[in-house]
Amino acid sequence: MGRVGNAPVRVGVLGCGNVGAALVELITRDADVIASRTGVRLEVGRVAVRNVAKERAVQLPEGTLTHDAEAVVSDPGIEVVVEVIGGIEPARMLILQALKAGKPVVTANKELLANVGGELFEAAAAAGLDLLYEASVAGGIPLIRPLRESLAGERIRRVMGIVNGTTNYILTRMSEEGASYTEALAEAQSLGYAERDPTADVEGFDAGAKAAILATIAFGRHVVAGDVYREGIAGVTAVDIAFASRLGYVVKLLAVAELVDDRVAVRVHPAMIPSTHPLAAVRDSFNAVFIEGEAVGELMLYGRGAGGMPTASAVLGDLIDAAHNLRAGGAGRSVALSRARVCPIDELSSQYYLSIEVLDQPGVLAAIGTVFADHGVSIRSMEQVGMGEEAQLIFITHTARERDVQTSLHELRHLDVVERVGTVLRVIGPE
Ligand code: HSE
């Protein structure tokens, strides 16, 4: 980037939690380095916070902090707005106001984009302004820009990601220490990864919002959170993980987006992936996204998916881009996309791991086998784990259609010899 004028670009930051505070620290500390590397000088103009009186690590000039976010957006001295409040309102309204006032916006807000992104991108495109969101998926990992720019001409077949650090941490502890789900969740909570109410992470809502954003960029059609099929990890047991390991697999919560004919299939669920797959090596709270493109082949981007500094690093990159574009007089590159046609999970095919708690008596296997056979689900292997009241049958299927597997499971739940249908894991990889 060339030099684009000496006047600093004054930034309005909405929200000063972990990410906002880290961003303010980075801009304050590195303004000279950024100016010499990029030709853009950033300056923190105003910061909207909930509590102005709160003690903060970064010293800001008197009057920078305000509790009035609308005043930051409408301040004529503020040229670019960063939204790191999270949630849908008031973030949505503030972003629309900023765009209306001719200010590019940088946001880290996945929930907002995955639910009402269409409206925001339309407003940005109509105003010819940037609306950038690198930090909304997988925190510090440069992912949106590589997909949107470097791979702009690539025919992407599939994007598969580990995009939730909390669940990856829990599954890693279960795999490596044999911890139960409950023990691993408690550990994640004590380390501050998982919230006291862990629902958004463990039930896959957080990953689902990220999957919608990834699918939108990868396939150039607008996908919303409601389009994403979602299952969480709360039902995964130590037995499932040990069994997968014995077969040469690891269990991960995956976000998968792929093109099926001309439709987008997007889902979040726990899956077994071969231990030789690059995603299998993504441990603890790290994130990674594996991209398969027609010309480029396979790519993987790996790093910290959360945390103040990594996420602020992604926001800062966007901010420099927006500021540079503003000074250079370029139009923003936001485009309003048409809605995706969504392929329901019913129509997809996969191999499956199925764990079924049964009565340990003659004829059980035959009864279950008949149900699978009736629906064309072919069994590749079967093993009994435990005996008597603890008996579980674990099946690995050949590639089968989701609809046929679900119909079989529904019928199995009604058999007298079946106590419970337990974990269902899709198996990724060649048969
Ligand atoms: N809670 C998320 C995670 C980070 O565990 O990865 C924010 O999206």
Centre of ligand 1 to C-alpha 376, Å, is 39
3-state SS record for 369-408: HHHHHHCCCCEEEEEEECCHHHCEEEEEECCEEHHHHHHH
How confident is the model at residue 58, as a pLDDT?
82
Domain 9-139+308-328 top-level CATH class: alpha beta
How confident is the model at residue 429, as a pLDDT?
83
Distance CA 130, CA 314 (A): 15
Tell me which residue has its CA closest to atom 7 in ligand 1.
306
Interior angle at CA 332, CA 331 and CA 336, nearest 5: 120
How confident is the model at residue 57, as a pLDDT?
81
Domain range annotation of the chain: 9-139+308-328, 149-304, 345-427
Residue among 172, 199, 200 at smallest CA distance from 187: 172
Does any ligand 1 atom lie closer than 6 A to the CB of residue 311? Answer: no
Does any ligand 1 atom lie closer than 6 A to the CB of residue 166? Answer: yes
Inter-residue contact 99 to 108 (CB < 8 Å): no
Does any ligand 1 atom lie closer than 6 A to the CB of residue 310? Answer: no
H or E segment and range at residue 257: strand 249-260
Interior angle at CA 325, CA 321 and CA 327, nearest 5: 120
Distance CA 322, CA 303 (A): 24
Atom of ligand 1 nearest to the CA of 201: 1
Q: Please, which residues have CB within 8 angstroms of residue 244's CB and are 6 or more apart in sequence? A: 250, 251, 272, 353, 425
The packing angle between helices 308-328 and 18-38, to 10°, is: 50
pTM, full prediction: 0.95
Architecture label for domain 345-427: 2-Layer Sandwich (3.30)
Which mutation among 107, 166, 197 tests ligand 1's pocket best, with the greatest number of atoms within 8 A of CB?
Answer: 166
Give mean pLDDT in consecutive 10-residue pieces for the chain, a chain of 431 residues: 71 96 96 96 96 86 94 98 97 98 97 97 95 96 96 97 98 96 97 95 98 97 97 96 96 97 97 98 98 98 96 98 91 85 97 96 96 98 92 97 98 97 93 57
DSSP state of 281: G
Per CATH, is 149-304 categorized as 3.30.360.10?
Answer: yes
Which mutation among 112, 164, 173, 210 tests ligand 1's pocket best, with the greatest number of atoms within 8 A of CB?
Answer: 164
Distance CA 209, CA 226 (A): 9
How confident is the model at residue 1, as a pLDDT?
47
To the query of whether residue 54 is one of the catalytic residues in this protein, the response is: no
Centre of ligand 1 to C-alpha 384, Å, is 36
DSSP state of 246: H
Residue among 176, 172, 140, 204 at smallest CA distance from 282: 172
Q: Which residue has the tokens 């099929």?
A: 229
Q: Please, which residues have CB within 8 angstroms of residue 410's CB and are 6 or more apart in sequence? A: none
CA distances from 106 to 42, 321, 334 (A): 14, 10, 12
**Chain centroid to CA 181:** 21
Distance CA 74, CA 67 (A): 14
What's the one-letter identity of residue 69?
A: A
Distance CA 189, CA 146 (A): 33
Distance CA 380, CA 398 (A): 5
Inter-residue contact 401 to 345 (CB < 8 Å): no
Does any ligand 1 atom lie closer than 6 A to the CB of residue 206? Answer: yes
Distance CA 60, CA 35 (A): 20
Does any ligand 1 atom lie closer than 6 A to the CB of residue 165? Answer: yes
